Structure 1
Amino acid sequence: MSATHSGCAIVHSGTVIHPDRAHADLGEVTVCRGVIADSDCRHDPVIIDASDCLVSPGLVDVHLHGALGHDLTEPDAVIWQQILSTHLLAGTTTAMATLASTTPAITAAALATAASLLAEQQTPTLAGVHLEGPCLATSQRGAHERTHLRSPSTLLTELTPLPPALRMVTLAPELPGADELITYLTGHRIHVSAGHSAATEDQLAHAQRLGLSHLAHLWSGQSTLTRPSLRRIPGLLEASLASEDLTAEIIADGHHLPATLLKIALRCLGPQRLCLVSDATAGTGLPAGQSFRVGATTGRVHDGYAATEDHTSLCGSVTPLAVTVARMRTLTGATVEDVVTMATATPARVAGLYPRKGSLHTGADGDVVVFTPDLSVRAVLLAGRQVTTDSKVAS
């Protein structure tokens, strides 16, 4: 992969999508020395013709595990750069490196790798680390290895002092000791997400009062309605859909959820609170039949999806975020503006990065994606530099 020119570019004659304004207009986007500018650039910008194309902010993925046979729990900086570069080529200009449940030593080593990369600014798309686990409900663990689940009190010890690269933690808020962990994390401005959880409506509301603000992948690892005797008790899923201010993730890869559920999620939360995530694993870019690791779990690639080796649970996805943008539009009939919002401004807000990321506001980072009318990625700019490659991007 390489990036061309000095960070100055003009993308012209495209339909520019403004996710925070819910509209698009014919025009141009100017990037000057790496940031969005409101006037002409006088530093010999590269001209990119976006005629008949859609121009959007760079995509923001807050839930991404790996690619090309490698997982972000591998504490090798070169591997991290390869994974993030692969997703960059597919349009993801900002990524939260997500670590699935594994041993404390492996998690600590991966967090150290992330801290080094952030300190040295070697991987400009890296926005920090998202721990998915290990404090998860056994009954909702999905593809996470049971033997690597741990208590909130144990994780609190592991995260004291706080690793500098940590930005988000997904946990089951109903677990004993979760209150103390949530309070500690949110007190240090770490975003806390409920996921792989059997929480009740009341337990979710309690965690929200402590600072929990987000929900991991809807319908994946969430308790649902129970009916003891004559009563109906909402589970985490129903509480998620009924929430008035929580944000939530959806995996629109065409395999995790059917169109009906995607439509329900969008109708309940709207594009300003529902964000698309890839949940892409090391299986992304591998042929069907290949096995891979995500955290401590072994998965296998099938035709467009991944599953655990016993085929009892989906094992993340094998789909870059840009592909879910196109599929969300196809499956739900949502507007281009809405699906782009769900992959840019909304996840950027979740990560606390908006409007520097996920927008085309003056002064925002010059991260831009040019889509064809069918929402295939045609060009990617990172800080105004057009990214190129000789290899085929997974789709």
Structure 2
Amino acid sequence: MSGFIDLQVNGYAGVDFNSDDLHESDFVAACTELACDGVEQTLATIITAPMDQMVSRIARIADWIDSVPEIRKQIAGIHVEGPFISPVDGFVGAHPKHAVQLATIEAAGRLLDAGKGYVRLVTLAPEMDSDATVTRFLRDRSVVVAAGHSDASLVELDRCIDAGLELYTHLGNGCPSQLHRHDNIIQRVLSRSDRLMISFVADGHHVPTFALRNYLRCMPSENVVIVSDAIAAAGLGPGEYQLAGQTVYVDDDGAAWAACRTHFAGCATTLPRMREILMRDLAATAAEVDAWMRDNPKRLLGYTPATSAAL
């Protein structure tokens, strides 16, 4: 199977996209490995960091998309995950709390300017975006806006949906392991799944397969997107890896843990492996998986039939 469209890749095959020491040749090598694993188009993901670092990391990848054909072929754009996310423990996940900030047009504009038109997706927490001002600002500039790492109320979710929010990033993650049994972010987002596309990390760790089966059953198939949330460890097996300056440990089962071992920090599973898990453990059909891993993310990014044929 090939033709995967992955909206969330933090690194791959030993290469950390969020490293300040990232070299062009290493990035090309990661793009080559992604293509070998059947991924046709990727959004390189830059996560929360101090603003100057985020700007530098985004600008570097944007410059390479402009100048390096191998990178331009693989990298469809940049996904900026943060810094406008919840600072609350659990919801902040593996993102550095000290670098989280409220969403402002000034800060969002800096990120877009650094990306030179290649920022295609921004994940933010609606409760950090007062009156959905930044959501509206991003949509007016043709950027897909996702919610994530968030404990938004239904009112806050609806306000951002009305302003153009289209996606929720890796539902079931970026939240505490213990939640209110009914009124929690997972239930709130699922209740809006007719208005929102929702991405999931289908590695069997981030969301147990029985829970993922329940989530998929209660939402429209056309709104499901599978993402890898891959880090440098993707495809390499157990060991110690880096993600934006923090150490991540991949255990013998393939789960990627933050140093504190209390939460995951990205994912070490490739999309071909996720496809196997979905079809074997969830009895998803080939047509469903193709939609979730190719057609739906293409539609979200605005590919027309003509542009899709060129991928």
Identify whether the pair has TM-score above 0.5, normalized to the shorter chain: yes
Q: Does 1:150 align with 2:101?
A: yes
1:260 maps to which residue?
210
Q: Distance in 2 between matches of 1:270 and 1:213?
A: 14
2:147 maps to which residue?
194
Q: Report the CA distance between 1:110 and its aligned residue.
A: 2.1
Segment of structure 1 superposing worse, 258-267 or 66-75: 66-75
Q: Is the CA contact 2:144–2:165 (under 8 Å) kept in the aligned structure 1?
A: yes
Q: Is the CA contact 1:145–1:296 (under 8 Å) kept in the aligned structure 2?
A: no
- Greater relative CO (CA pairs within 8 A, separation 6+): 1
Q: Distance in 2 between matches of 1:225 and 1:305?
A: 22
Q: Distance in 1 between matches of 2:81 and 2:92?
A: 10
Q: Report the CA distance between 1:79 and its aligned residue.
A: 2.4
Q: Report the CA distance between 1:282 and its aligned residue.
A: 1.0
Q: Is the CA contact 2:56–2:114 (under 8 Å) kept in the aligned structure 1?
A: no
2:246 maps to which residue?
297
SS in 2 for 1:141: coil
Segment of structure 1 superposing worse, 214-223 or 132-141: 214-223
Higher share in helix: 2
Q: 2:85 aligns with which of 120, 133, 136?
A: 136
Q: Does 1:286 align with 2:286?
A: no
Q: Deviation per CA, 1:335-385, whole angstroms, max 9, x where unpaired?
A: 11111211110111122225356x6xxxx02x5xxxxxxxxxxxxxxxxxx
2:4 maps to which residue?
59
1:209 maps to which residue?
162
Cα distance, 1:162–1:117 mapped onto 2, change above 3 Å:
closer
Amino acid at match of 2:45: T
Cα distance, 1:355–1:117 mapped onto 2, change above 3 Å:
farther
Q: Distance in 2 between matches of 1:170 and 1:192?
A: 6
Q: Deviation per CA, 1:79-127, whole angstroms, max 9, x where unpaired?
A: 2222222111111111011111122222222222222232235220110
Amino acid at match of 1:110: R
Q: Does 1:126 align with 2:64?
A: no
Q: Is the CA contact 1:100–1:296 (under 8 Å) kept in the aligned structure 2?
A: no
Cα distance, 1:327–1:356 mapped onto 2, change above 3 Å:
farther
Q: Is the CA contact 1:68–1:283 (under 8 Å) kept in the aligned structure 2?
A: yes
Cα distance, 1:286–1:109 mapped onto 2, change above 3 Å:
same
Segment of structure 1 superposing worse, 71-80 or 322-331: 71-80
Q: Distance in 2 between matches of 1:88 and 1:356?
A: 21
**Counterparts of residues 92-131 of structure 1 (less than 5 Å):** 92-120=39-67, 122=69, 123=71, 124-131=73-80
Greater gyration radius: 1
Higher share in strand: 1
SS in 2 for 1:322: helix
1:392 maps to which residue?
none
Q: Report the CA distance between 1:302 and its aligned residue.
A: 1.3
Q: Deviation per CA, 1:255-289, whole angstroms, max 9, x where unpaired?
A: 11112211122112233110111011011233423
Q: Is the CA contact 2:127–2:152 (under 8 Å) kept in the aligned structure 1?
A: yes
**Counterparts of residues 161-176 of structure 1 (less than 5 Å):** 161=113, 163-164=115-116, 165-176=118-129
Q: Does 1:81 align with 2:31?
A: no
| Structure 2: unaligned runs, 5 residues or longer | none
2:292 maps to which residue?
342
Q: Percent identity?
A: 27
Q: Distance in 2 between matches of 1:328 and 1:354?
A: 27
Q: Distance in 2 between matches of 1:216 and 1:160?
A: 19
Q: Distance in 1 between matches of 2:204 and 2:185?
A: 23
Q: Distance in 2 between matches of 1:105 and 1:90?
A: 33
Q: Does 1:312 align with 2:259?
A: no
Q: Does 1:70 align with 2:15?
A: yes
**Counterparts of residues 23-62 of structure 1 (less than 5 Å):** 58-62=3-7
Amino acid at match of 1:163: G
Q: Report the CA distance between 1:202 and its aligned residue.
A: 1.3
Q: Distance in 2 between matches of 1:217 and 1:354?
A: 25
Normalising by structure 1, what TM-score?
A: 0.71
Normalising by structure 2, what TM-score?
A: 0.89
Q: 2:138 aligns with which of 175, 185, 193?
A: 185
SS in 1 for 2:126: coil
Q: Distance in 2 between matches of 1:159 and 1:100?
A: 12
Q: Report the CA distance between 1:161 and its aligned residue.
A: 3.9
Q: Is the CA contact 2:58–2:115 (under 8 Å) kept in the aligned structure 1?
A: yes
SS in 2 for 1:97: strand
| Structure 1: unaligned runs, 5 residues or longer | 1-55, 368-395
Amino acid at match of 1:156: A
